[in-house]
Amino acid sequence: MTNASPPDFDPLDWPSIAPLFAELEATPLTPQSVRPWLQQWSDVAAVIQETSAQIYRQISENTADAEADALFRVLVKDILPAVSQAEQKLKQKLLAVDGYQSDPDTARLLQRFRAEVEIFRAENVPIISELRLLDKQYDEIIGGLSIDWQGEQKTIPEAEVMLANRDSTQRQGVWRAAMDAYLARRADLNDLFMQMLDRRRRLAANAGFADFRSYQWQAMGRFDYTPADAATFHDAIAHEVVPLATELYHQAARALDLPSLRPWETSINSPWNITVDPEETPLRPFQDAAELEETVHRIFRQLHPDVGDCFGAMREGWLDLASRPNKAPGGYCNSFPVSGQPYIFMNAAGSHRNVRTLLHEGGHAFHFAQAFRQQSLVWNYDAPLEFAEVASMSMELLTIPYWSRERGGFYDQDDLRRAIAEQLRGIVFFFPYMAVMDAFQHWLYSEAPTELDAHDLDRKWSELWDRFMPGIDFSGLQAEKETGWHRKGHIFGVPFYYIEYGLAQLGALQIWRNALSDPQKALHDYQQALALGSTRSLPELFRAAGARFAFDRATVHELMDLVWHRLQALA
């Protein structure tokens, strides 16, 4: 595998890019010449992806950066639409080659290209650009939120840390202040989303689909499972996870000497997670981002030298971990396919959840590094999302043996027990919330009436919350409960991207189960599967990692039983 020097052109100037696509379009294609032609196209695409990643990095790191904002607008209004139309012609050209026998590394790529060609419509190109700009507005709104706490301005991630305080009065005050900040922008967020919903429906109609779910299913390359399978997963969660999660929430309330668990005992943006610890001293694994970075590097080095080397290279300018004003919310890992480097963005503020986030995003980073070393085509670096999240969620679990301070990690033995229990409880708590997210979007994009408003969305979110999340007491807080969909950026920016986390968690739990009995083989299988990038189906990728791509009641029951017994052993 080789990663050739990129072609020399200005990726933010279409007249500079256009001749490269024109040359590719004019090149005669035979079955023998397809692979070098694909590599030439891949090299151009890599430069454009690298530029996109750099601009997205800039607007994430400072949502008030006017220069970055201007570049972003050039990218989404002028460059990406033109690239999209040029690539449509190349995909059609490739798919028309008679006699081309795809190899294992291109068969899956051709399947994706074929699906993209089928749904492409020129009239949708500007709509997609508009959606990108609307999503940026969401980041600007959320990134600008803060609370005034005792005379100091606190970002929402900083407010999250204060929800670990054992003083219920402070927790409630901080949480209500954060909710007030969101509710003050309620009308803006409602209006923003309704603009997005209108455009998504137009995308689907223009492409000949009955609804946006059908369109998005194909756009996301979901070839290995169906909406009916998603409903099967929701059913399994309702029967096998919700009772367990509810019991764990009740146990937490009893440990805190509370009649019920209220939302100010849970995270603002990850509301399935309990933030307050029944112990006198809450977990405080690190003081600042520098300590977080150094300690996670030690953990990764002990897990495997390749993982340590990957993260070590990222410490040379490819990490932005600390929270600050005007920084976009959340965390993510992005890839720079020309530099050959992954990049991690997050908002660290001192919690164990921050540790999990960096381990998680480190899994994504290692995934890219492994695929970059083995794959030559840029489209094959990134695996299907359902397996990309296996890489990250498995990393959280595979590193558990190295969390202890005596092995270079964060915790003494007592805190280690608490951190592992928090990790496992968090897995249980996540599945029902994932079901709320996914079921909400299935309803919204395939079942909801054409004429609806934000109040209808509020009602549906509240209904699903009551079905899947009964362990958290929102009595007297209807506005805060029903607007929970405002606080999850996936709904605004990446519709339907959430079930991936649930499907992947099932894969990660299986890899962890394997590691409990044979850690070396489990890690070897994990690495081998990551190196396949996007060249195999989901069942094949799961199988390569030592797992099954399954999500029925029996599978979910088996894995919840594993988690439950490990929790009992930690009690």
Which pLDDT value is given to residue 3? 56
The answer for residues whose C-beta is within 8 angstroms of residue 280's C-beta and 6 or more apart is 166
Q: Extract the residue ranges of the chain whose pLDDT is less than 70.
A: 1-4
The token pair that represents 487 in the structure block: 């606080």
Buried b / exposed e along 353-382 (16+ C-beta atoms within 10 A): bbbbbbbbbbbbbbbbbbbbebbbbbbbbb
Only one residue has tokens 């190899």, namely 103
The tens digit of pLDDT for each residue in 37-58 reads: 999 999 999 999 999 999 999 9
Tokens representing 87? 């690539």
Contacts of 49 (CB under 8 A, 6+ apart): 335, 337, 378
Contacts of 135 (CB under 8 A, 6+ apart): 196, 492, 493
pLDDT tens per residue across span 156-197 = 988 988 998 889 999 999 999 999 999 999 999 999 999 999
Of the candidates 35, 89, 524, 545, the one whose C-alpha atom is nearest the C-alpha of residue 303 is: 524
Which residues have CB under 8 Å from 251's CB, separation 6+? none
User: Letter for the amino acid at 310?
Assistant: C
At residue 4, the pLDDT reads 60
**Gap between the Cα atoms of 389 and 543, Å rounded:** 15
State how far the Cα of 342 lies from the Cα of 395, in Å rounded to an integer. 16
User: How many Å apart are CA 486 and CA 499, to the nearest integer?
Assistant: 18
The dihedral through the CA atoms of 520, 525, 528, 530 has a sign that is negative
Using CB atoms within 10 A of its CB, is residue 148 exposed (0-12), middle (13-18) or buried (19+)? Answer: exposed
Whose CA is closest to 262, among 150, 351, 169?
169
* DSSP tag of 270: S
Length of the chain: 571
- Alpha-carbon gap, residue 27 to 72, rounded angstroms: 32
Mean pLDDT of the chain: 95
Give the β-pairing of 332-336 and 341-348.
Answer: antiparallel
Distance from C-alpha of 337 to C-alpha of 378, rounded to nearest angstrom: 7
What confidence score (pLDDT) does residue 121 get?
A: 95
* One-letter amino acid for residue 108 of the chain: R
Is this prediction's pTM over 0.75? yes
Helix (H) / strand (E) element for 222: namely none
Vertex 537 angle, CA 534 and 539, to 5°: 130
Residue reference for tokens 């920084």: 327
Q: Phi first, then psi: what are they for 511, rounded to 5°?
A: -65, -40
CB under 8 Å to 279, separation ≥6 — which residues?
418
The answer to whether the CB of 62 falls within 8 A of the CB of 327 is yes
Which stretches within 120-226 are classed as H helix? Answer: 125-143, 156-162, 168-184, 186-206, 212-219
What confidence score (pLDDT) does residue 351 get?
84
Type of residue numbered 389:
E
**Domain edges within the chain:** 14-120, 135-211+226-275+429-493, 289-423+505-535+555-570
d(CA 526, CA 60): 30
DSSP letters of 48-110? HHHHHHHHHHHHHH-TT-HHHHHHHHHIIIIIHHHHHHHHHHHHHHHHT-TT----HHHHHHH
Q: Return d(Cα 457, Cα 440) in angstroms, integer.
A: 8
